Amino acid sequence: MNDERVKLVLASGSPRRLALLEQVGLEPDMLNPTLIDELARKNEAPRTLAKRLARTKAEATVQAKQVQDLGTGRFIVAADTVVASGRRIIPKPDSIDEAAAALHLLSGRAHRVYTGICIVTPRDSYRQRVVETKVRFKRLSREDIESYLMSGEWRDKAGGYAIQGRADAFVRSINGSYSNVVGLPLYETVTLLEGAGFPVYYNWFNAG
């Protein structure tokens, strides 16, 4: 494959996922945010939901006209992150009350963060992976929760918190990928891209 024709599309408008890709020297040629129904189906497990939503985002991006206009040689990265306490999914809160309820639930407990990754190759082959990280919070005081809510960092965050921000002070332990909790597990994403034929390290070599 001619490396000069290879393009990378991130099926997201998330500044966190973009920053993570750029951190490992991968700058997308296009951002293609997708609007999909992210509600879990009845009795759907958190891991299954993360995998399904990533695939759905990838499929929607494949059909987007601006992506098709890129022509051949485009790779797509789609991802979705789900936070769960046991089998209970903690969605992105729509209000400060929902964010408070999420933090109360996570207080003093371990929870799991699942990110589904879906890579689409230029031949429209789909490669998927779900990455799981276990996170344990300290017991949060009323002041902890109220101060965090006032910071506004909970907005548009799965589970109602951003580990890359103030909430890192709540984390007693983490078992697994840190970047997964931020929103995109880098080791697995790079491994999938490399295995699919994307010239990851060619981009590093030419970065300067």
Question: 77: closest CA among 7, 175, 160?
Answer: 7
pLDDT at 4 over 60: no
80 in active site: yes
**Residue 204's pLDDT band (cuts 50, 70, 90):** low
pLDDT of 191: 96
pLDDT at 57 over 50: yes
Active-site pick, 3, 37, 69, 80:
80
pLDDT of 39: 87
How far is C-alpha 128 from the geometric centre of its chain's CA atoms?
13
* C-alpha span between 93 and 196 (Å, rounded): 35
Beta-bridge mates of residue 131 = 115
pLDDT at 153 over 80: yes
Question: Taking the CB of residue 70, how many other CB atoms lie within 10 A of it?
Answer: 18
**Residue 3's pLDDT band (cuts 50, 70, 90):** very low
Tokens of 88: 């209970």
Residue 71 is classified by DSSP as -
**Residue 208's pLDDT band (cuts 50, 70, 90):** low
* C-alpha span between 196 and 190 (Å, rounded): 10
For each of the domains in the chain, give its residue range(s) and CATH number, in order of start. 3-205 (3.90.950.10)
- Name the CA dihedral angle for 176, 156, 147, 174, rounded to a multiple of 10 degrees: 0
Question: Taking the CB of residue 7, how many other CB atoms lie within 10 A of it?
Answer: 18
Tokens of 155: 């907005």
What mean pLDDT is predicted for residues 156-163? 93
Residues with Cβ within 8 Å of residue 117, at least 6 apart in sequence: 54, 77, 78, 79, 128, 129, 130, 131, 184, 185, 188, 189, 192
What mean pLDDT is predicted for residues 158-186? 96
What mean pLDDT is predicted for residues 70-96? 94
